[in-house]
Amino acid sequence: MPARGPSFNDCVFLNCPIDSDYWPIFEAIVFSVIDSRFVPRSALEEADSGEVRLHKIFRLIQQCRYAIHDLSRIEFSEDTALPRFNMPFELGLDLGCREYGQRELKRKRCLILEAKPYRYRAFLSDISGQDIRSHNSSPDQAITVVRNWLATTSRRKRVPGPKAIRRRFAGFAAALPTLCEEAQLDRHDVQFVEYVTLAEEWIKTAPE
């Protein structure tokens, strides 16, 4: 019998940019989710060329009660002179799953992030009225926002405080080059699943 995966109530779908400038924030968000006792999920966790990417997104959204959608990247690309719409599109899929889904999908919850307060009003005004939170392109601020949202939304009592998670993330970030060297990984090319594994193992032995 195959091993069971993480439960719907523990999974957090991450719909975030993955460019190099954003990566420090992404790592902070992933660590915050793990240290808050949840399981981060991303399309980056699988590399199955036989599965259509959109089908993978559908499946992940259905498997996660929680989702974090960062709409920070709305600038024009230098290569194409066009913006990227993947993040707003996946946010729409998640909201639609909650609205039209059956049973447990009705209990889905999402956090919408932006780099700057209120900028979303100019490019996605339909989400006005939602509780959009800003991280100001700061990993520490992203940790605080994500942790507070998970603790409040889930009502779990064992979620560490934001100060503790920020401190532990700083410790993990300092240790990460050595951890990568020991695992024979390139610190500048750590894959999502590798980062999650390293963070989970480090957290198990790190002081509270």
Closest CA to 191 of 74, 47, 82: 47
Distance CA 44, CA 191 (A): 8
pLDDT at 84 over 80: no
pLDDT, tens digit, 9 for 90 and up, residues 1-45: 445 678 999 999 999 988 888 999 999 999 999 999 999 999 998
Residue 157 DSSP code: S
Are 70 and 87 within 8 A, CB to CB?
yes
Are 45 and 192 within 8 A, CB to CB?
yes
Are 9 and 66 within 8 A, CB to CB?
no
Backbone angles phi, psi at 114, to 5 degrees: -145, 160
Which of the four pLDDT bands, split at 50, 70 and 90, describes residue 46?
confident
Q: At what angle do helices 139-154 and 23-35 cross, to 10 degrees?
A: 30
Q: Indicate the range of 35-39, 47-51, 85-89, 140-144 predicted with least confidence.
A: 47-51
pLDDT, tens digit, 9 for 90 and up, residues 111-122: 999 887 666 555
pTM above 0.95, yes or no: no
% residues pLDDT > 90 (the chain): 63
Helices (H), the chain: 23-35, 53-63, 86-100, 120-123, 139-154, 162-182, 192-205
Q: Indicate the range of 78-87, 146-155, 185-194 predicted with least confidence.
A: 78-87
pLDDT score of 78: 67
Instruction: Tell me how far CA of residue 99 lies from CA of 58, 76, 93, 194, in angstroms.
Output: 14, 31, 10, 34
How high does pLDDT run on average in the chain? 88
Residue 115 DSSP code: S
Q: Give residues with Cβ within 8 angstroms of 22, minimum separation 6.
A: 16, 70, 72, 73
Which of the four pLDDT bands, split at 50, 70 and 90, describes residue 180?
very high
Q: At what angle do helices 23-35 and 162-182 cross, to 10 degrees?
A: 110
Domains of the chain, earliest start first = 8-159 (3.40.50.10140)
Distance CA 77, CA 195 (A): 27
